């Protein structure tokens, strides 16, 4: 008997994808389901953050020297917990943790994947009710199966990701993930507590009218970036300018909007912080992977993000990401100034 139902849940979708690969083990589907479960738990806590005493600093600082909010700790433990208890992940790296966590048990040592994540990006926005998110990237481990995973598994180029995604805890909660086959978005249906396919096969528009950057840092940016920002503000019949400036200060929200509507997001290096603020492994690589699958581009201003060979877990990188044609326009300005 066929069931007449239009909406696929996250689990149904990943299993459907699996059916196309008869030799697939299902480990990636399991891992994505685990992440979906942790996301639902974090969503519940984020939604009641204004009500319960979960707000405020946990009283410690993370390895970046930033204040850790309680929800950061909660989210970190949830994602680490589901991946540790699952069957697909040999270890994790988290923006909140100094070092990788190797699960090192019989099941995990035989698992195919490792996962890097930022459990709660934009957490400085929690207490003012602005959307925040989780970002993750999944890599096939390169260390020998049957043994504990190693740091090399985590220090792979972004291009080696097999899947990457994010969860946005917003007016509705969404999970977007990409594999090489496409990027798809799932909205959490609170009535059944399931992520359901709402944005199939996401394509980032080639052109956009939104630019997102912290204008407060304008005079600290390199000349090419300043020139591009200037051009965003000018009337331009060819590219539809002037563009609209939108900057939430919560990257998941800013990049999600630009991915759907078209636009460019920039976190350039500054005079005092030449590598900018964002972390290559936890923030830039997953988004770079998603945007490329969706037809957009991501660079550090000089090279493709996904080609960068990471040297350390918490390294930062300037970050430019968005619609293909807006990125091309940016690159013209950057090249002119770098000559
Ligand atoms: P966080 O790791 O403390 O959450 O910071 C990351 C966030 C990004 O989501 C956002 O794009 C950026 O910091 C905003 O930084 P700024 O306030 O310097 O513009």
Q: Class assignment of domain 10-199?
A: alpha beta
CA dist., res. 154 & res. 152, Å (int): 5
Q: Determine phi and psi for 249, rounding to 5 degrees.
A: 85, 15
Closest residue by Cα to atom 16, ligand 1, is 249
Tell me the mean pLDDT in the region 191-203.
96
Q: pLDDT (tens digit, 9 = 90+) per residue, 291-305?
A: 999 999 999 999 999
Between CA 163 and CA 39 the distance in angstroms is 16
* 265-269 mean pLDDT: 98
Ligand 1 geometric centre to CA of 252 (Å)? 10
CATH architecture of 210-338: 3-Layer(aba) Sandwich (3.40)
How far the first Cα of the chain sits from its last, in Å, is 66
Q: Closest Cα to atom 1, ligand 1: which residue?
A: 122
- The CB-side HSE value for 297 (13 A sphere, CA atoms) comes to 19
Mean pLDDT within 15-35: 89
Residue with tokens 């060979």: 309
Structure tokens at 27: 């480990």
Domain boundaries in the chain?
10-199, 210-338
User: Tens digit of pLDDT for each residue in 117-138?
Assistant: 999 999 888 878 889 999 999 9
Residue 153 has pLDDT above 50, yes or no: yes
Is ligand 1 within 6 A of the CB of residue 212?
A: no
Q: Edge-to-edge strands of the sheet including 161-169?
A: 101-102, 89-94, 113-121, 132-140, 161-169, 173-179, 182-189, 194-199
Which pLDDT score is estimated for 1?
47
Q: Which residues contact 72 (CB under 8 A, 6 or more apart)?
A: 58, 62, 96, 119, 120, 123
User: For 66-92, how does the pLDDT look when each residue is reduced to its tens digit (9 = 90+)?
Assistant: 655 688 899 999 999 999 999 999 999
Contact 141, 90 (CB under 8 A): yes
User: Which pLDDT score is estimated for 298?
Assistant: 98
CA nearest ligand 1 atom 17, residue: 249
pLDDT of residue 305: 98
Q: Which residue has the higher pLDDT, 67 or 232?
A: 232
Distance of alpha carbon 225 from alpha carbon 24, whole angstroms = 45
Alpha helices in the chain (DSSP H): 10-19, 27-47, 70-85, 106-109, 151-154, 223-232, 251-261, 285-293, 324-338
| Residue to substitute in 249, 270, 273 for testing ligand 1 pocket (most ligand atoms within 8 angstroms of CB) | 249
pLDDT of 9 above 80? yes
Atom of ligand 1 nearest to the CA of 66: 3
Its pTM stands at 0.93
Is the CB–ligand 1 distance for residue 66 below 6 Å?
Answer: yes
- Return the pLDDT at 120: 95
Is residue 156 lining ligand 1, measured as CB closer than 6 Å? no
User: Rounded mean pLDDT of 313-321?
Assistant: 98
Ligand 1 centroid to Cα of residue 113, in Å, is 28
**Residues 33-71 pLDDT 10s:** 999 999 999 999 888 766 655 555 556 666 666 655 688
pLDDT at 332 (0 to 100): 95
Residue with the smallest CA separation from ligand 1 atom 4 is 122
How far apart are alpha carbons 312 and 339 in whole angstroms? 30
């Amino acid at each position: 008997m066929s069931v007449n139902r239009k909406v696929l849940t996250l689990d149904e979708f990943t299993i459907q994808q699996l059916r196309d690969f008869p030799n697939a083990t299902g480990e990636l589907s399991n891992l994505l389901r685990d992440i979906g479960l942790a996301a639902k738990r974090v969503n519940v806590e984020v939604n009641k953050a204004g009500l319960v005493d979960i707000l405020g600093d946990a009283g410690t600082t993370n390895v970046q020297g930033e204040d850790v909010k309680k929800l950061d700790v909660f989210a970190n433990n949830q994602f680490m917990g589901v991946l540790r208890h699952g069957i697909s992940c040999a270890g994790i790296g988290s923006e909140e943790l100094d070092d990788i966590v190797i699960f090192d048990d019989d099941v995990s040592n035989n698992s195919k994947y490792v996962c890097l994540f930022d459990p709660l990006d934009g957490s400085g926005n929690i207490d003012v009710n602005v959307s925040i998110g989780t970002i993750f990237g999944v890599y096939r481990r390169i260390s020998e199966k049957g043994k504990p995973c190693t740091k090399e598994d985590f220090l792979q180029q972004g291009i080696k990701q097999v899947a990457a995604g994010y969860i946005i805890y917003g007016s509705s909660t969404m999970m977007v993930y990409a594999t090489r086959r496409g990027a798809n978005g799932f909205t959490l249906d609170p009535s059944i507590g399931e992520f359901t396919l709402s944005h199939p096969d996401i394509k980032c528009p080639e052109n956009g009218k939104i630019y997102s950057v912290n204008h407060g840092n304008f005079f600290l940016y390199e000349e090419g970036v300043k020139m591009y920002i200037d051009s965003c503000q000018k009337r331009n019949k060819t590219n539809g300018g002037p563009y609209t400036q939108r900057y939430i200060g919560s990257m998941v929200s800013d990049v999600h909007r630009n991915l759907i509507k078209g636009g460019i997001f920039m976190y350039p290096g500054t005079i005092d912080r030449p590598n900018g603020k964002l972390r290559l492994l936890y923030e830039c690589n997953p988004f770079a992977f998603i945007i490329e699958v969706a037809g957009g581009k991501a660079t550090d201003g000089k090279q493709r993000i996904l080609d960068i060979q990471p040297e350390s877990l918490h390294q930062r990188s300037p970050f430019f990401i968005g619609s293909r044609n807006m990125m091309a326009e940016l690159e013209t300005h950057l090249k002119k100034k770098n000559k």
